Amino acid sequence: MNSLILNAATRILVALMLLFSVFMLLRGHNEPGGGFIGGLVAAIGLTLYAIGHGTREARRALRADPRAIAMVGLALAILAAVLAVIGGDPFFTGQWLFIGGGEGEKGLPISSVLLFDIGVYLVVIGSVLAIVFALEDEV
């Protein structure tokens, strides 16, 4: 599509949508949201960019093959599940690591649940964009 308004608007909208998708990803532990909805928002933003600038420009802006992004996300999700087994807990049990903190303080909590959500986020982005780019290339 060759629209000046769409080209100008997509640059701003994509940045806002990607920022909002990260917010949805990080919010998902205690509120509605998480890796799936955050990944969908990011994929929609990048799809909008592909509509406005073309698939070739969208692939160049993404800088990675969507299938590779999906595979890395799947590996992260599986790693999050296996971390519990390594720790001696049942499969998919949340594991917590506390970074920093002094005596009597736990520090910053990092969980395997967040790692799983990031994996789902990447799987959704990669799979949706692989489908969209394949459909766009056929047209």
Q: Determine the pLDDT at residue 29.
A: 65
Look at the block and give the residue holding tokens 């395997």: 112
Q: Is 120 left (phi over 0), alpha (psi -120 to 50) or beta?
A: alpha
Query: Domain count of the chain?
Result: 1
Q: What is the pLDDT of residues 35-44, one digit of tens each?
A: 999 999 999 9
For the chain, what percent of residues have pLDDT higher than 70?
96
Which residues constitute the domain of residue 34? Answer: 4-138
Please state the separation of Cα 99 from the chain's center in Å: 23
pTM, full prediction:
0.88
* Beta carbons of 97 and 110 less than 8 angstroms apart: yes
pLDDT of residue 100: 81
pLDDT, tens digit, for every residue of 59-115? 999 999 999 999 999 999 999 989 888 888 888 888 888 888 777 777 887 888 889
